[in-house]
Amino acid sequence: MAQPAHSPGLPLGRAFGIPIYLHPSWFIIFLLITLSLRTQFSSMHPHWTPAQHWTLGLVTSLLFFASVVFHELSHSLVAKRYRIPVESITLFVFGGLARIQKEPDKASQEFNIAIAGPLSSLFLAGCFWLIARQYHGNELVVAAAQWLAEINFILAVFNLLPGFPLDGGRIFRGIAWAVTKDFTRSTRMASNAGKLIGYLMIFIGIWQALNGNWVGGLWTVFIGWFLLSAAQESFAQVAIRSSLNGVLAGDIMNRDIPTVARDISLEEYVHEVLRTGHQYHIVTGVGVPVGLISLHALRALPPSE
């Protein structure tokens, strides 16, 4: 897979040919999760050493983000199965994002790509639950596996909420698309559901903050605001793409091309710009185009010249 023109973060490596990046915001959430796990393990297992608390917190946090990569890879591999290019996967403050370069061609493709993520998280939750059962005599393994099983289950359930751009919103769009046969309309429906979920999370977060849980409340508000913005932006992109469908460059180009003769002075050209309002002109010599001049290029010259 080709390297993106603008790197979305620090390169971490590749999986199945897909570049994986770490967004700078990822380090914030990684630190917060590690500290939270260290505090949780200290409270639940006070007889462990501080080194064990910190080490297990670090390892468990890394395994959680490996689970997020697995989740996004599931989306990406199904997309590649349908010959839809995947540009990259980026880990950031809210988890992971697979950059799929174009929309699916069919509702069934949209549904399958979307549902692959939650199914992969449920699969991991089951695997970690089995590990916790299998190694019940090892407290360190059990503590990490139980937390990973719970968080992957929560990740799957949260992503199944039927609001765009969550996986559940894409599943909803796939179903609505199959029923209505209208991609733009189904996107609007899923985006509206996403905005509703965003507003609801903001309300819940404010309620949490007013009842004393400032950290959890602000985090919930932040997530709700992110979902709200993403839902609005996602539909705007689809609406623009839909409105431009079938429009050619020739349909919107300006056929009245302004020209100036090559023998006019720059001072005369300034007056021409002020008179017509055009900021660029084709330069002609004996009626034949020989170059291009613009107001931007003129500004690069000192006024004295």
Tens digit of each residue's pLDDT (9 = 90 or more) over 202-246: 999 999 888 888 877 888 888 888 888 877 777 777 667 666 667
With vertex at residue 41, the alpha carbon angle to CA 31 and CA 122, rounded to the nearest 5 degrees, is 75
Give the helix/strand (H/E) hosting 122. Answer: helix 107-134
- What is 253-299's CATH superfamily? CBS-domain (3.10.580.10)
Q: For residue range 248-261, list pLDDT tens digits in order.
A: 777 777 777 788 88
Judge whether 147 and 60 are in contact, CB under 8 Å. yes
59: number of Cβ within 10 Å: 14
Would you state the pLDDT for residue 2? Answer: 32
pLDDT digits (tens, 9 = 90+) for 55-104: 999 999 999 999 999 999 999 999 999 999 888 888 887 778 888 888 88
For residue range 150-159, list pLDDT tens digits in order: 999 999 999 8
The predicted structure's pLDDT at residue 262: 86
Residue 244 has a pLDDT of: 67
Average pLDDT, the chain: 85
What percent of the chain is modeled with pLDDT above 70? 94
Other CB atoms within 10 A of residue 167 CB? 26
State the pTM of this model. 0.74
**Is 305 among the residues known to form the active site?**
no
Asked whether the predicted pLDDT for residue 293 surpasses 60, the reply is: yes
CA–CA distance from 10 to each of 6, 24, 89, 96, 122 (Å)?
A: 11, 8, 11, 14, 29
